[in-house]
Amino acid sequence: MIYSLKGTLTHMEPGIAVLECGGVGFQCHTSLSTQRALPPIGKETELYTILHVREDALDLFGFATMPERNCFKMLTGVSGVGPKVALAILSELSPEQVAVSVATGDSRALTRASGVGPKLAQRIALELRDKVKKIQPETNVSLPAGGVSASSNAAAAVNALTVLGYLPSDAAAVVAKFDSSLPVEELIRLSLKSMDSGQRGLRR
């Protein structure tokens, strides 16, 4: 499995970015969100990747952030959602917005993506929420003292981060660092930023 690529951005077109690493150019399928985050051609950058294996091809997908990679992985685990649809969703919505939509049961936001109708959007929201419910009872997650109710913004943020593939215990610990009265999406954004900083520190 190719976890990430770090190299020179040599080519870009809608839905495609090519990174040259050690003299080899890797073609990565990307969302428009990732493309907007990439530097100019000729600059060094890094993409987190997922290799998708088909009978007739090996497709490499690249993402500017780990949350986007995690969200893509969760989306393609839903029946009826292939890589093309997942990229369409992530071209319209940030990982935070996808997570909030799923955690709150608001499937309408997902229909903004090309190829996602109301029925598919509802299926995505329901299947991902069911996955979260299966994870949570096994982890004995509790939000720290001074705590917050299960219906609070903090609890909703923990659920949303779980949708993105984070362990509920890890998500709860990070969300607890911030003001629980903040909007859910802001709590998710701050938590993801904090987690990303920690991961970058470990890679140094």
| Segment 34-79, tens digit of pLDDT | 999 999 999 999 999 999 888 788 899 999 998 899 899 989 999 8
Instruction: Give domain status of residue 50, yes or no.
Output: yes
DSSP states along 142-169: -PPSS---TTSHHHHHHHHHHHTT--HH
Q: Tokens in use for 115?
A: 């190829």
Q: Tokens in use for 166?
A: 């984070």
Closest Cα partner for 108 from 85, 130, 125, 132?
125
Q: Is pLDDT at 7 greater than 50 in this prediction?
A: yes
Mark whether 142 and 172 lie in a shared domain.
Answer: yes
Identify the band that residue 198 occupies on the pLDDT scale cut at 50, 70 and 90: low
- Look at residues 15, 44, 64 and tell me which one is the last residue of a structural domain: 64
Report the number of distinct structural domains present in the chain. Answer: 2
pLDDT value of residue 202: 40
pLDDT value of residue 139: 38
- Are 83 and 76 within 8 A, CB to CB? yes
Residue 201: what residue type? Answer: G
Mark whether 12 and 73 lie in a shared domain.
Answer: no
Q: Stretch 89-114: mean pLDDT, rounded?
A: 89
CATH number of 16's domain: 2.40.50.140
Mark whether 98 and 175 lie in a shared domain.
Answer: yes
Mark whether 82 and 182 lie in a shared domain.
Answer: yes
| Segment 119-137, tens digit of pLDDT | 999 999 988 887 766 554 3
CATH number of 127's domain: 1.10.150.20
The DSSP 8-state label assigned to residue 174 in this structure reads: H
Q: Stretch 193-204: mean pLDDT, rounded?
A: 60
Instruction: Give domain status of residue 203, yes or no.
Output: no
pLDDT value of residue 134: 56
Q: Is pLDDT at 149 greater than 70 in this prediction?
A: no
Q: Is pLDDT at 140 greater than 70 in this prediction?
A: no
As a whole number of Å, the CA-based R_g of the chain is: 17
- Are 161 and 188 within 8 A, CB to CB? yes
- Look at residues 37, 64, 91 and tell me which one is the last residue of a structural domain: 64
Mark whether 113 and 77 lie in a shared domain.
Answer: yes
Structural domain of 97 = 68-197
Q: What percentage of the chain reaches a pLDDT higher than 90?
A: 48
pLDDT value of residue 203: 45
| Segment 158-171, tens digit of pLDDT | 888 887 878 888 88
Assign 140 to helix, strand or coil: coil
Mark whether 97 and 121 lie in a shared domain.
Answer: yes
Mark whether 82 and 12 lie in a shared domain.
Answer: no
Phi then psi dihedrals of residue 30, to 5 deg: -135, 160
Instruction: Give domain status of residue 202, yes or no.
Output: no
